[in-house]
Homo-oligomer: A and B are copies of this chain.
C-alpha cells in the first residue's frame, strides 16, 4: 500500500491534470476501469479487512461506541456489496456527451448544448468506508477526478480502499491522480481542501450538521449541501383513508433514520373526529412517539391515546427517529403555509382524491420533491432510476433532489459555423 504524503494542494493539482484527460476518456475505458476496481476489491479482500481491523482496534481503544464501530466495520459481505455497487455504476448510461439541446440558428450556426464533466470533485465524508469507493465510482463514471477526505477514524480502511481503486483504475487506462486521498482528517486539511479555488470544481460534504457548519465558514469552492429532510405528510379531507394510513406508517416507520422519512403529519380538520384517532392509534401501535398541537391533543385525550404536547421546536426538528409531530390544519392552503414555514425543501406529500387540492399543493409547495398519494420515502436516486446517488440536494441551484451522474456534470455549448462573423 502506497503511503500518501502529498499536500492537499499537490493532490488537487494532480487531480486537476487527471481531470483533463478523464474528460476525453471514452465510455468503454471508464467502464473497464470500474470493473477492474470491483475485481481488485474482491481479489484483495484480506488486505482490506486487515486495514479495517486496525481502524476497529483504534476505535475500540478510543471507545467510539457501538454505532460508530458498526458504521466503520467491513466484512466479506460488505466488501462484496461495495464491489457490486461499482459494477452497477459501470452498467449505468454515461452522462458525458449527451446532447441536452441542439438548434440551428437562423444565421446557420449549429449550437449544441452537450453534457461534460465538472472536473475535480472533492467528497468529504464521515466514518463509513464504503463511501470511498461509491463516490469514486460515481465521479469516474461521470468523467470527473475525485479527491477524498474521510474521517481519521477510518484512515487505514480509506487509504487501502482508495489505493486499491486507484491502482486498478490506472492499470485499466485512467490517468494517474484520478483518485486522490487527503491523508489526515483534521480541520486544517478540510479548510485547505475547501479553498482550492481553480482546482476543485465542486465539494460535496456527506456528514452531519457540524461538518456543514465548518464548510459554510471556510469554503470558497462551490459546495452542494445535502440538507436535512423535515418532510411533511398532509392528509386532505378528500383522501382515501386506507391509502393515507398505509403511506403515513410507511413514511414514518419503514426507515426512520433517513432524510426522506416523514417528521410531521398534517391532517385536515374535517378528519379530526374520524380519521385522526385511527391514525394516532395505528402509529402508536407501530411504536411511534407522537407530539401533537392543541387540537390533536384534545382528540387524543378523548380517544384515550397517549400524545405529548408539541413545543414550537417540534415543527422544525428532523427527528430521524420513531417520533412524529402531528397538527390539524383548516385547509390545503394552511398546510402549504405550515410547510413553507417549517419545511426544509426536501420531500413533501399530499394524500388526496381531489385534483384541485393536489394541483394547489404541487404548485404551492417549494421543495425538491412534491408527492401526491405516495410515500416521501421514494426520494432516492436509485428509486428515480438514476442508478445511484452521491447525496440529496435541498439547494435550488444546479442540483435539486438526488445527485446522480448527470448532476455531477456541467455542460458546454459547441458551436459550428462556416466562417461566421457577427454583424
Q: Is A397 touching B366 in the complex (CB atoms < 8 A)?
A: no
Q: Quick one: given A220-B216, A367-B412, are A417 and B23 in contact (CB under 8 Å)?
A: no
Closest CB-CB distance, A369 to chain B, in whole Å?
5
- Sample 29 A-B pairs with CB under 8 A, ordered by A number: A20-B340, A20-B366, A23-B366, A24-B364, A105-B384, A111-B384, A111-B385, A118-B397, A201-B397, A202-B397, A222-B397, A247-B420, A247-B421, A250-B421, A250-B422, A254-B422, A358-B416, A362-B414, A366-B412, A371-B417, A372-B415, A373-B416, A373-B420, A374-B415, A375-B420, A378-B415, A384-B413, A397-B398, A397-B410
Indicate if A128 sits at the interface (CB-CB under 8 A).
no
A220-235: CB near B (< 8 Å → 1, else 0) gives: 1010100000000000
Closest CB-CB distance, A383 to chain B, in whole Å?
7
- Contact for A119 among B385, B396, B400, CB less than 8 A: B396
Q: Quick one: given A247-B421, A250-B421, A340-B20, are A396 and B373 in contact (CB under 8 Å)?
A: no
In the complex, chain B residues whose CB is within 8 Å of the CB of A398 = 397-398
A362, B111: Cα distance in complex, Å: 12
Indicate if A334 sits at the interface (CB-CB under 8 A).
no
A396, B397: Cα distance in complex, Å: 11
Closest CB-CB distance, A218 to chain B, in whole Å?
12
Residue in B closest to A108 when the chains form the complex, CB atoms = B374
In the complex, chain B residues whose CB is within 8 Å of the CB of A372 = 414-417
In the complex, chain B residues whose CB is within 8 Å of the CB of A7 = none
In the complex, chain B residues whose CB is within 8 Å of the CB of A373 = 416-420
Q: Is A371 touching B119 in the complex (CB atoms < 8 A)?
A: no
The 10 closest A-B pairs by CB, nearest first: A374-B417, A243-B419, A250-B421, A377-B422, A374-B420, A396-B410, A398-B398, A397-B398, A369-B413, A372-B416
Indicate if A43 sits at the interface (CB-CB under 8 A).
no
Stoichiometry (number of copies):
2
- Using a CB–CB distance below 8 Å, which chain A residues touch chain B? 20, 23-24, 103, 105, 109, 111, 116, 118-119, 201-202, 216, 220, 222, 224, 240, 242-244, 246-247, 250-251, 254, 340, 358, 362-364, 366-375, 377-379, 383-385, 395-398, 400-401, 410-423
A20, B23: Cα distance in complex, Å: 40
Q: Is B374 touching A401 in the complex (CB atoms < 8 A)?
A: no
Q: Is A412 touching B222 in the complex (CB atoms < 8 A)?
A: no
In the complex, chain B residues whose CB is within 8 Å of the CB of A109 = 374, 378
Q: Tell me the dominant secondary structure on chain A's binding face.
A: mixed
A243, B417: Cα distance in complex, Å: 11
Closest CB-CB distance, A26 to chain B, in whole Å?
11
Residue in B closest to A372 when the chains form the complex, CB atoms = B416
Residue in B closest to A21 when the chains form the complex, CB atoms = B364
Closest CB-CB distance, A405 to chain B, in whole Å?
14
- Contact for A374 among B224, B246, B416, CB less than 8 A: B416
- Contact for A400 among B254, B395, B410, CB less than 8 A: B410
In the complex, chain B residues whose CB is within 8 Å of the CB of A224 = 397
In the complex, chain B residues whose CB is within 8 Å of the CB of A401 = 412-413
- Contact for A385 among B105, B222, B370, CB less than 8 A: B105
Residue in B closest to A380 when the chains form the complex, CB atoms = B422
A375, B417: Cα distance in complex, Å: 9
Residue in B closest to A201 when the chains form the complex, CB atoms = B396
A422, B415: Cα distance in complex, Å: 45
Residue in B closest to A244 when the chains form the complex, CB atoms = B419
Q: Is A375 touching B243 in the complex (CB atoms < 8 A)?
A: no
- Contact for A396 among B118, B220, B363, B367, CB less than 8 A: B118
Q: Is B20 touching A414 in the complex (CB atoms < 8 A)?
A: no
Q: Is A240 touching B419 in the complex (CB atoms < 8 A)?
A: yes
Residue in B closest to A104 when the chains form the complex, CB atoms = B385
Q: Is B384 touching A422 in the complex (CB atoms < 8 A)?
A: no
A411, B406: Cα distance in complex, Å: 15
